[in-house]
Amino acid sequence: MSRHGPVFVYYKMFDDDKKEMLSIRSPATRDGYIGRVDVSRIPAPHTVGALVQRICRQENRRCGIDWENADAYGTSLLRTVDSSDEYNLQDAVDLLGDSRPGSTPQAPVLLKIWYEELQAVLIYPEWDAPKERNVNSHKSPVFIYYKVYDEKKEMLPLRSPVETGTPYLGRVDACQIPTPHMIGSLAKEISNQENRPIGIDWDHDSAYGTMLLKTFDSPMAYDLEDAVDLLAADRPGSTPQEPVLLKVWYEEVQALMGNEGWERPAVRLVDSHRNVRSRP
């Protein structure tokens, strides 16, 4: 069956006290408490939840949990005000059919909206907001142990040691290091955890170097570009007894460049590599 023009779903909103709420999307010259939503604005597949989200969005009504302010905004789509049987948000619904919910202003769907403090919703005696977690938080940690030392081969006390009694031994969780895994990404994770700068600080004309070594006296450092399996049993630094060794040092940029007439590079726009056409 072909249709011409928009297909609407009409709705009313009310609160816990069964008081109706004015709609900011009420059609002109109609009841100010009845709103309508254009079905073409609801992405497929059509579900009851998608309809509720669209109504809340166009009415500027919050939906769900606001963790920052510890607030909960609830919604239920009902057939009648006194109905104890609400629509299931996951249910598929034909919003284009003649028998769709809220097909006429005389029989709108009813959206119940309420607000509660989150602590009251969760009914915990001492509720705390959830901590931020990495997407890999469900995985068991895979540790890589490390020590940090300077050019004089002096061990440096760590900001995040494994234990307070071992201030020179640290560890990072390989599951928290973004892929693809490389020696450079491991060195960067250790440096970030220890709050140590890497590379050149142009503002202060300083250079901070890092190398990852197998032993103190090793003449060969790991290549930062080398791929490495940080989750394997034979990964570098797999045990506290054989940690990887991060060598860190500092130099002034001018000394590093070895140039008496060295000047700081000029500030450039990100698109400075593009050819600039001269005006005629």
Distance CA 178, CA 219 (A): 28
Count of domains forming the chain? 2
Residue 50: inside a domain, yes or no?
Answer: yes
153 lies in some domain = yes
Residues 33 and 110: beta-carbon distance below 8 Å: no
Residue 263 lies inside a defined structural domain of this protein: no
> Is 236 in a helix, a strand, or coil?
coil
CA R_g for the chain: 31
In tens, the pLDDT along 139-159 reads: 678 899 999 988 888 888 898
Shared domain for 188 and 147, answered yes or no, is yes
> Do you find a cis peptide bond into 6, omega within 30 degrees of 0?
no
Closest CA relative to residue 42, chosen from 129, 134, 109: 109
Proportion of the chain in helix, strand, coil states, percent, rounded to 5: 15, 30, 60
Tell me whether residue 227 is in a domain.
yes
Asked whether residue 96 falls in the same domain as residue 187, the answer is: no
**Do 98 and 162 fall into the same domain?**
no
Asked if the structure places residue 262 within a domain, the reply is: no
Could you tell me if 245 and 215 are in contact, meaning their C-beta atoms sit under 8 angstroms apart? Answer: yes
Q: In terms of domains, do 250 and 147 share one?
A: yes
Cis peptide, bond prior to residue 180, ω within 30 of zero: yes
Residue 137 included in any domain: no
Residue finishing a domain among 89, 122, 155? 122
Q: Are residues 180 and 237 in the same domain?
A: yes
Q: Is residue 129 part of a domain?
A: no
Distance of CA 145 to the CA centre of its chain: 27
pLDDT, tens digit, 9 for 90 and up, residues 10-58? 998 888 788 888 888 888 656 788 899 999 989 888 999 899 989 988 8
Please tell me what DSSP assigns to residue 92. Answer: B
Mark whether 90 and 161 lie in a shared domain. Answer: no
155 plus 110 within the same structural domain: no
DSSP string, 97-125: STT-TT-STTS-EEEEEEEEEHHHHHT-T
CATH of the domain at 95: 3.10.20
Residues 232 and 160 in one domain: yes
Per-residue pLDDT of the chain (280 residues; tens, 9 = 90+): 445 688 999 998 888 788 888 888 888 656 788 899 999 989 888 999 899 989 988 888 877 666 666 667 778 888 776 666 788 888 899 999 888 988 988 888 888 887 766 555 444 445 455 556 555 555 678 899 999 988 888 888 898 888 877 889 999 998 888 888 888 889 889 988 888 877 666 666 666 777 888 777 766 778 888 888 998 888 989 999 999 988 887 766 555 455 555 555 555 554 444 454 444 4
Are 68 and 174 in a shared domain?
Answer: no
Q: What is the pTM of this model?
A: 0.43
- Residues of the chain with pLDDT > 90, as a percent, come to 14
What DSSP element (H or E) covers 38? strand 34-38
* Alpha helices, DSSP H, located in the chain: 48-58, 118-122, 183-193, 253-257
Residues 55 and 148 in one domain: no
**Do 193 and 172 touch, CB atoms closer than 8 A?**
yes
Does 94 lie in the same domain as 174? no
The range of the structural domain enclosing residue 51 comes to 8-122
160 with 245, same domain: the answer is yes
Q: Does residue 154 belong to any structural domain of this protein? A: yes
